[in-house]
Structure 1
Amino acid sequence: SGLFKQLLHLKEHNHNFHNFTLLFQTRCGNIHRGYRTLGTPALSSISVDEGKETVYILLSFCPFCLSLTHPPLFLLLHPSIFLQLSVELPPRTVGHTWQLAYSTSRHGSSLKSLYRRLKGSDSPILMVIKDSLNQVFGSFLSHPLRPSETFYGTGETFLFMLLPRFKCFKWTGENSFFIKGDLDSFAIGGGSGHFGLWLDEMLYLGRSSPCYTFNNCCLSERDDFHVMELEVWTFW
């Protein structure tokens, strides 16, 4: 196919280009990921979504990235960011399809709606936020977000910054204030009255502060921020 020819052309003209990561996004918004080495018999099995309508194909290369065909259906999880972030995820997420479970642009801005979308799921979640200053950051949660009387979750939970720079903040072991869901807000990380990440019931007003759980800096440029877009991904 034309796609394979482009891949082979890149291999022939760039001696550093040996392996690649192939990301498929289908119309439902799911991301499918596969690794192949060019020039091997496995090349013929590259189309893991054969038989489905593949709307967008992302090809992320080392040492550069390239996007082909249609614009993406998702807004925040750029392929170069996807690769950086996927390395930090716990082993139990490897090989799973990333499913877009909730997006404010598709499902509205409501914490109750987010809870409903995640109800019944036992998947960990990846939450990505873009604020009004175009900062992109978020959290990986070991368990789905839900209303709770106390903090829950495990040390797999972490905070991260994606744009303008990439940095992860893993569990320090200082406390176990991982995830707390209320009807009017939710919080990730805590200690001494400060939350690592906090959002209100409209998923619009947010705050990020240094906290003992992750020893993080403020994820946004300002402590208080306005959410422009929020995406929640599950793994299945």
Structure 2
Amino acid sequence: MGNTSKKLAAKCTLLTKDEQKYVAATFRAASKNSERIREDDLIVSGKVDAVLLEKFWGPQIDPRLAQYLSNFLFGSGQQKTPSVEFNRFAELYVYNVRGTVDERMIVTYNSLGKDYNESVELPYQLIKEYCESVASTYIKMVKASRSKRARIWLDKGFRGRASHVQALGEAVAATVGGDLDSPHHHCTSDQLSKWLETNTLLKQLAELVFVNLYGIDRRGGDESPVQLPPTMPSLLPLPEGLESMPDYPAFIDLSHIAWLNSYLPQKHQHKWRFLFSSHIHGESFATMAGRILDQGASIIIIEDNNGYIFGGYAAQPWSMGPSFYGGEDSFLFSLAPRMRAYPTTGFNDHYQYINHHTKTLPNGLIMGGQFEFCGIWLNADPFGEGSCAESCSTYRGYRRLSKDATFHVRSLEVWGVGDKPVIETDEDDREVSVLDTNPEAKAILEMAGKTRHSEGLREPPSL
């Protein structure tokens, strides 16, 4: 790094030593080795100059985000300046990657062409478009990635389609305040502050985007061309089990995966294990059950005959039985036409149910609700028939997931999430007699004056 970069880096105490060289190098490329960046060098006709900054921003940035960054760096309206110094350029990176809520408020207001003022309300439509621009840039970076993780998803037909990217941005923005399905037209600074504090997905998207844009550590990693901090979960999980599927029929999108993965417990975000697909393994409830039982936490994703995509996260392993069970971390979700998640209410524990070949109980799979009124019901016979109730007391804010109350499955797949659980076996299991687990039978033998032939041949079981 030359003297110019050292002088620039020395002017900014916000950056770590490792960050200084990368941010300074990006600044030098944009400023043509001077101490200021002119807007004409960075933005051309409202778009990033792909020739000048192709190595850094050109092919990776959504044009709308480029304009928002221009607003932050150079200002807007009468306060607009023709050039910007290194410190302001560094602030844009630092505030987005590890900024406080107040610093991120400044970024949001300034990027949308407003001064940060507690009395100023922001139009919801602007916030939504800002979120869409960040989400779009993230998906562009994933598509350009050479990492193994991203390439497996892409090679198996998962795409970042514009409509789904837009839905991802809308889902992120919808939590800013008010009803998720009818947000307010304007957002107060208090609503925006709470939203920035609690919306972890927006923070992760912004962090990944700006780490990439500023060229931090381009030696390689899990997301696009950068190495992520070890404490930050990846938005895209590592897919396990797809490599051997030559004709995998992908029906969900990269945007769906990133959004859904962000709602999983952090311990399950690093890996998805492919367990079942109705297209690959056939339309058989018995086959599906055989492949998903005792596989740890999992997600079921269903596409109905109307193109609605929805499902549920089961926090506990699937296990045949006559009763509901599960964990309060479970949730139901919708992926299309909109992305929504419905967490548990605590009203009841009807999180999971699966049964087959019974005469007096329902044969099928249930998530939420109760018999005959289920959040999700999948019939065992005939396989492929299902229903979603109008309401479900198990999950908060629940709206019917399928387009119609009853539906036919077009596509269904199940993924185990996180590492496969290790089933521990007792080393002494092979030495335990049936009578050891049946004290009544043992007592009957003893009253009859009989003993077990193996009684004197075995060591007593360890305590």
Normalised by the size of structure 1, how large is the TM-score? 0.74
Question: C-alpha distance in 2, partners of 1:165/1:144?
Answer: 28
The alpha carbon displacement at 1:193 in A equals: 4.7
SS in 2 for 1:196: strand
Aligned residues: 202
Letter in 1 for 2:376: L
Give the root-mean-square deviation of aligned CA atoms: 3.1
1:77-117 Cα offsets, whole Å, 9 max, x none, are 3101111111211222122x212110000001112111211
Contact kept in structure 2, 1:76 and 1:128, CA below 8 Å: no
CA spacing shift, 1:45–1:214, aligned 2, 3 Å: same
Give the distance between the partners of 2:294 and 2:405, measured in 1 at CA: 33
- By how many angstroms is 1:186 displaced? 1.1
Contact 2:365 2:379 in 1 (8 A): yes
Query: Could you say which residue in structure 1 is the equivalent of 2:54?
Result: 9
**Are positions 1:102 and 2:229 aligned together?**
no
The corresponding residue for 2:152 is 25
Which structure shows the bigger proportion of residues in strand conformation?
1
Map of 2:395 onto structure 1: 214
Distance 1:226 1:112, change over 3 A: same
- How far did residue 9 of structure 1 move? 3.4
Structure 1 residues 157 and 230 mapped into 2: Cα distance closer, same or farther (>3 Å)? same
Does 1:133 pair with 2:293?
no
Q: Which has the higher helix share?
A: 2
Q: Which amino acid aligns with 2:393?
A: Y
Secondary structure, aligned partner of 1:23 = helix
Q: 1:119 aligns with which of 293, 314, 318?
A: 293
Matches of 2:333 and 2:222, distance apart in 1: 31
Larger Rg: 2
- Aligned mates of 1:220, 1:233 — CA distance in 2: 20
User: Does the 8 A contact of 1:125 with 1:142 survive in 2?
Assistant: yes
Compared CA separation, residues 142 and 10, structure 1 to 2 (3 A): farther
Letter in 2 for 1:40: I
Say whether the 8 Å CA contact 1:76–1:231 is kept in structure 2: no
Q: Which of 325, 328, 350 pairs up with 1:177?
A: 350
1:3 is matched with which residue?
Answer: none
Call closer, same or farther: CA 1:144–1:120 in 2, change over 3 Å: closer
> How many Å apart are 1:12 and its aligned residue?
2.1
CA distance in 1, matches of 2:55, 2:291: 41
Check the 8 A contact 2:294/2:319 in 1, yes or no: no
How far did residue 24 of structure 1 move?
Answer: 3.7
TM-score of the aligned structures, taking structure 2 as reference length: 0.40
Q: Distance in 1 between matches of 2:404 and 2:220?
A: 47
User: Are the equivalent residues in 2 in contact too, given 1:148–1:182 (CA < 8 A)?
Assistant: yes
User: Quick check: 1:208–1:223 contact (8 Å CA) kept in 2?
Assistant: yes
Counterpart CA distance in 1 for 2:347 and 2:294 is 30
Query: What one-letter code is carried by the residue in structure 1 that aligns with 2:345?
Result: T
Asked whether the 8 Å contact 1:125–1:232 carries over to 2, the reply is yes
Q: Secondary structure at the match of 2:365?
A: strand
Q: Any idea what the Cα deviations from partners look like across 1:123-181, whole Å, max 9, x if unmatched? A: 21111100111111111111233311211110111111110111111101111111011
> Residue by residue, what CA displacement relative to the aligned partner does 1:6-57 show, whole Å, maximum 9, x if unpaired?
xx8374223567865563427997x9xxx6933233x323379xxxxxxxxx
Contact 2:292 2:414 in 1 (8 A): no
- CA shift in 2, pair 1:219/1:27, >3 Å: closer
Aligned to 1:40: 216
Aligned ranges 1:69-84 → 2 under 5 Å: 73-84=248-259
Equivalent residue, structure 2, for 1:199: 378
2:317 pairs with one of 138, 144, 155: 144
Task: Pick one of 154, 162, 165 that aligns with 2:327.
Answer: 154
